Amino acid sequence: MKIKSKLLAGTSTLVIAGSMMAAAAPSAHAVVTNVGACTGQVTLDKLTSPVKGQGLGDQTTRGIKVAGALAKDQTSKQVIAGTCSGIYRAGDAHVPTPAVGGGNKVLSTLTPISEAISLLGNSGCANGAGAMAADATAADAYPLNGKITLTFSQTYVDLVTSATKKYTEQTDIAVLGFNTGLGPDVIDVGGIGLTGVNAGTNLSGNIWEDPVSKTGGATGYNTGYEVDIASAAGCADNTPNNANITLVLSGGGGTSANSLLGSSTTGLKWTTGE
């Protein structure tokens, strides 16, 4: 009887502990809720490799770096900023939340004034069966991943310091691969919000990326950079080592939904739930 009593007591403790954990944890099948998005931006990205003068080639190369920022309209000299949205957690020590009704702070309109992109991985541009078969170092492939940091024109008054600050957003991002159903220049991305707007939420979506060169022309969203067909062709043929992409324009959703090759994309979105 004494042993039975101990077993019952132990079981009871486990049940209570399990119930407490269940109450604290999110639902295993939480409804996916869209909480933020970024669309309409156009960025100019520079691609480099450890080999001087070589960017992204048709052979998978270790240590490809991508550094990007918002591109400028060559006429207005203004960045092609698009628009973003998002949320801030209720109870954040620095950012005010709604005085009436409580809840998370909803930021329905955020205008980027700068964007910094920094990615690293092992990558190549080979696409198509023949080009991929000619990639002798394909086994080295590793997803490009890193961070996107946005600064917005909208501001808040810090609850701790009373200083006026601009909203910011930093997201961990990884290139998941080509979305051939949408087009040859469309990639899917994933990640998680790190700090600022949309912190802790899930990133998904797709964007286009096209190789460009500086021509002064207007077809590349009037940035002065237009699609470089020769570089794109080198990625698709069966001849190894004849491609070198050092600059790409990228965008997605909204006013930059369409790529320079005519593909259509959704842009970036942040969600909560599964």
pLDDT along the chain (274 residues), means of 10: 39 39 50 96 97 93 98 98 97 89 92 98 91 94 97 97 98 94 94 98 98 97 95 88 95 98 97 87
Q: With beta carbons less than 8 A apart as the criterion, state whether 110 and 96 touch.
A: no
Confidence (pLDDT) at 17: 39
Cβ count near 46 (within 10 Å)? 14
Confidence (pLDDT) at 2: 41
Confidence (pLDDT) at 236: 87
Region class of 174: left (phi > 0), else alpha (psi between -120 and 50), else beta = beta
Confidence (pLDDT) at 29: 55
Confidence (pLDDT) at 124: 93
b/e code 11-31 from CB counts within 10 Å (16+ = b): eeeeeeeeeeeeeeeeeeeee
Confidence (pLDDT) at 24: 47
Confidence (pLDDT) at 11: 40
The residue to which tokens 């080979």 are assigned = 126
The SS3 assignment for 196 reads: strand
Confidence (pLDDT) at 1: 39
HSE-up of residue 134 (Cα within 13 Å, Cβ side):
19
Cross-strand bridge partners of residue 252: none
Q: With beta carbons less than 8 A apart as the criterion, state whether 83 and 110 touch.
A: yes
Confidence (pLDDT) at 21: 37
Long-range contacts of 241-246 (CB under 8 A, 24+ apart): 241/57, 241/58, 241/59, 242/58, 243/56, 243/57, 243/58, 243/125, 244/53, 244/54, 244/55, 244/56, 244/57, 245/47, 245/55, 245/56, 245/57, 245/125, 245/211, 246/46, 246/47, 246/48, 246/55, 246/56
Confidence (pLDDT) at 66: 98
Q: Give the amino acid at 106.
A: V
- Cα separation of 161 and 229, whole Å? 52
Listed in order, strand segments (DSSP E) in the chain are 33-39, 42-48, 61-70, 83-88, 105-110, 112-123, 142-157, 164-178, 186-196, 202-217, 224-227, 247-251, 267-272
Strands 202-217 and 186-196: antiparallel
- Cα separation of 100 and 96, whole Å? 12
Confidence (pLDDT) at 231: 84
- Cα separation of 246 and 44, whole Å? 11
